[in-house]
Amino acid sequence: MQITITKAENLKPKPEDANLGFGSIFTDHMFNMDYNPEKGWHNPRIEPYAAIEMDPATMMLHYAQGVFEGLKAYRTRSGSVQLFRPEKNVKRLNRSCRALCIPEVNETFLLNSLKQLVALEKDWVPSVPETSLYIRPTIIATDPFLGVRASNTYRLFIILSPVGAYYPEGFNPIKIWVTKDYVRAVRGGVGEAKTPGNYAASLRAGDEAHKNGYSQVLWLDGVELKYLEEVGSMNIFFVIDGEIITPSLTGSILPGITRDSVIALAKMWNMKITERKISIDELMGAHETGILNEVFGAGTAAVISPVGEIKYGKKTIIINNGKVGLVANKFYTALTDIQYGRAEDPMGWIVPVT
Ligand SMILES: *Cc1c(COP(=O)(O)O)cnc(C)c1O
């Protein structure tokens, strides 16, 4: 398939790298492609960024049949632009598609389209350390129909947003909240897919966490309300008595690419790392006996997010004196050095764009 390119006539002014924030500024162009049963995925095109006109009965708006991805393009010191394991995002998009009954996309074609779009928008990739161009591929169900079934037609689009440093004042531990009042996902559901409904379902608990002074929710499993699963948009790691532990992928946890990268690096460094079930009681017990060394989240947005405090019921625990731990810091440095090309890429994770 040939990608049709229509360039924008007027380019937008580019923002200052210093005040980018997250997710509110978009570049000049976007990628679009359509699906119908006769033609399959067709009409791939890069065109000026624009609103999508929709019938009010569009199925995505009513039944949330959609999937998305999130990855970043990084500018190296030499000025080139590169991606971090993008083939993993494309694969995961298709896995999410299967969970939502959406027709899969050719992975090589989608990755090439994404690279072509980023290459066209390369001047939008910011240069200040730890800034990047966030890439959001999305697929939405487009049949105008109110019956509940899978849509026959779809739109795939990719939009790009320059984003600021996640830690402009330096690496800062966050406070997280564990609750038994709400769950995010259950086994057999769509928890392991990146699909809008999971995020809508997390808002109320997130709101309550914020009202209590906590920035995110650390979810318990939806069946027994016992095992730790993940944080809002990050997977979670615990360092207990020198061993790194992350919840195993049981079907209700999003399989993070940062998570996978942390595990791979730990193995390469011969650190003790285990994927297994870990309960909130085990965590609180480890803190009580003084062997809980560190807790940190892992996801594309923040890369590594140290956790300094956890609240569960009436108990509040402070981890590592509320300071950034050595293990969290080691992964943060290693991952960002690879992503920004400041270090060798021993795993072959980098994909150059320009
Ligand atoms: C995207 C996401 C993650 C992290 O995945 P990465 O590929 O590392 O960015 C973790 N949990 C949820 C719920 C997510 O949506």
Is 90 in contact with 110 (CB distance < 8 Å)? yes
Residue from 87, 235, 331 to probe ligand 1 pocket by mutation (most atoms less than 8 Å from CB): 235
Q: Whose CA is nearest to atom 15 of ligand 1?
A: 233
Two tokens at 133? 């161009």
pLDDT the model gives residue 14: 94
pLDDT at 172 over 90: no
What's the mean pLDDT in 123-130? 95
Cα first-last separation, the chain: 22
**Dist CA 285 CA 304 (whole Å):** 24
**Dist CA 290 CA 242 (whole Å):** 12
| Percent of the chain that is helix, strand, coil (3-state, to 5) | 25, 30, 45
pLDDT category, 298, cuts 50, 70, 90?
very high
**Dist CA 73 CA 133 (whole Å):** 5
Helix axis angle for 326-339 and 257-268, nearest 10°, is 110
pLDDT at 335 over 90: yes
pLDDT at 168 over 80: no
Q: Which atom of ligand 1 is nearest to the CA of 92?
A: 7
CA-to-CA dists, residue 157 to 81, 168, 170, 200, 298, angstroms: 21, 30, 34, 21, 26
CA-to-CA dists, residue 102 to 67, 141, 193, 212, angstroms: 9, 8, 12, 38
Two tokens at 232? 């809002």
pLDDT tens, 26-51?
A: 999 999 999 999 999 999 999 999 99
Q: Which atom of ligand 1 is nearest to the CA of 261?
A: 8
What does the DSSP assignment read for 320-338? Answer: GGGS--HHHHHHHHHHHHH
What's the mean pLDDT in 79-87? 98
Two tokens at 194? 């990146």
Residue showing tokens 């807790």 = 295
Average pLDDT over the chain, rounded to an integer: 96
Q: Which atom of ligand 1 is nearest to the CA of 256?
A: 5
Two tokens at 311? 């609240």
Two tokens at 248? 């195993």
Q: Whose CA is nearest to atom 2 of ligand 1?
A: 233
pLDDT at 134 over 80: yes
pLDDT tens, 96-123?
A: 999 999 999 999 999 999 999 999 999 9
* Rounded distance from Cα 301 to ligand 1 centre (Å): 9
- Ranking 14-23, 147-156, 167-176, 276-285 by mean pLDDT, the lowest is 167-176
Q: Whose CA is nearest to atom 13 of ligand 1?
A: 233
pLDDT the model gives residue 165: 83
pLDDT category, 19, cuts 50, 70, 90?
confident
DSSP-H helix ranges across 201-270:
203-211, 257-268
Q: Which atom of ligand 1 is nearest to the CA of 235?
A: 10
Q: Whose CA is nearest to atom 14 of ligand 1?
A: 233
pLDDT the model gives residue 18: 83
pTM: 0.97
Rounded to the nearest 5°, which phi and psi values hold at 104?
-70, 160
What's the mean pLDDT in 159-167? 91
Q: Whose CA is nearest to atom 5 of ligand 1?
A: 256
* Rounded distance from Cα 194 to ligand 1 centre (Å): 8
Two tokens at 224? 């027994």
pLDDT tens, 222-242?
A: 999 999 999 989 999 999 999
Q: Which atom of ligand 1 is nearest to the CA of 257?
A: 7
For CA atoms 83, 89, 93, 98, give the dihedral sign: positive
pLDDT category, 132, cuts 50, 70, 90?
very high
pLDDT the model gives residue 166: 81
pLDDT tens, 317-327?
A: 999 999 999 99
* Rounded distance from Cα 255 to ligand 1 centre (Å): 7
Is 136 in contact with 160 (CB distance < 8 Å)? yes
Domains of the chain by start residue, with CATH: 4-163 (3.30.470.10), 174-339 (3.20.10.10)
Residue from 69, 166, 218, 233 to probe ligand 1 pocket by mutation (most atoms less than 8 Å from CB): 233
**Dist CA 168 CA 130 (whole Å):** 9
Q: Which atom of ligand 1 is nearest to the CA of 184?
A: 13
Rounded to the nearest 5°, which phi and psi values hold at 119?
-65, -40
For ligand 1, residues with CB inside 6 Å are 70, 194, 230, 233-235, 254, 256-259, 299-300
pLDDT at 170 over 80: no
